[in-house]
Amino acid sequence: MMLLGSDHGGLDLKSAIAGFLSERGIKFKDCGTFDSTSVDYPDIAEAVAGLVSRGEAEAGILVCGTGIGISIAANKFPRVRAALVTDVFMAQMAKEHNNANILVLGGRTTTPDKGREIVSAWLDAKFEGGRHQSRLDKITAIEKKFSC
């Protein structure tokens, strides 16, 4: 299952992405926020990244004003590889080389049209494995080394 989440700064872009996912027939769960009232991005990151980390969801898309804060928060969760992406090439590489399971966008820096292009590229890309898997294994080892 795909998850969506945004703070108030990413609400408009998240809404555009939700419409795009629906057009593509992709089922998703919206984890909030649902209006323009100020909300703390770590709470939204936890709602999405927590489910991905526990294996209760396959992937997610997060949006905050710039994408920076919410990506930092999301990447605190084991097994989460949240990639802040600003263009189509980065979206492809995030999946092909890093197997990013959460795509992060900036609501104040990304237009809805550009957001749809980025999401499409990320969804359509496939993880290449091989030498990239050994690098992900090193990331997993670091997570295990420093987790409680």
CATH of the domain at 134: 3.40.1400.10
Specify the amino acid at residue 104: V
- Local confidence band at 147 (pLDDT 50, 70, 90 cut-offs): confident
Give Cβ neighbours of residue 48 (< 8 Å, ≥ 6 apart).
3, 4, 5, 31, 57, 60, 62, 74, 102
Q: Is 31 part of the annotated catalytic residue set?
A: no
Q: Is 97 part of the annotated catalytic residue set?
A: yes
In tens, the pLDDT along 25-84 reads 999 999 999 999 999 999 999 999 999 999 999 999 999 999 999 999 999 999 999 999
- How many domains does one find in the chain? 1
Query: CA dihedral in degrees (93, 75, 59, 48; nearest 10)?
Result: -150
Question: Full-prediction pTM beyond 0.85?
Answer: yes
Q: What is the DSSP letter of 32?
A: S
Separation CA 52–CA 37 (nearest Å): 26
Strands 2-6 and 59-64: parallel
Give Cβ neighbours of residue 87 (< 8 Å, ≥ 6 apart).
114, 118
Q: The domain containing residue 129 runs over which residues? A: 2-146
Q: What is the mean pLDDT of residues 98-115?
A: 98
Choose, from 8, 31, 97, 132, the residue flagged as catalytic.
Answer: 97
Separation CA 73–CA 107 (nearest Å): 16
Task: Please choose, from the candidates 41, 40, 60, the residue with its C-alpha nearest in 3D space to the C-alpha of residue 50.
Answer: 60
Choose, from 8, 64, 132, 148, the residue flagged as catalytic.
Answer: 64
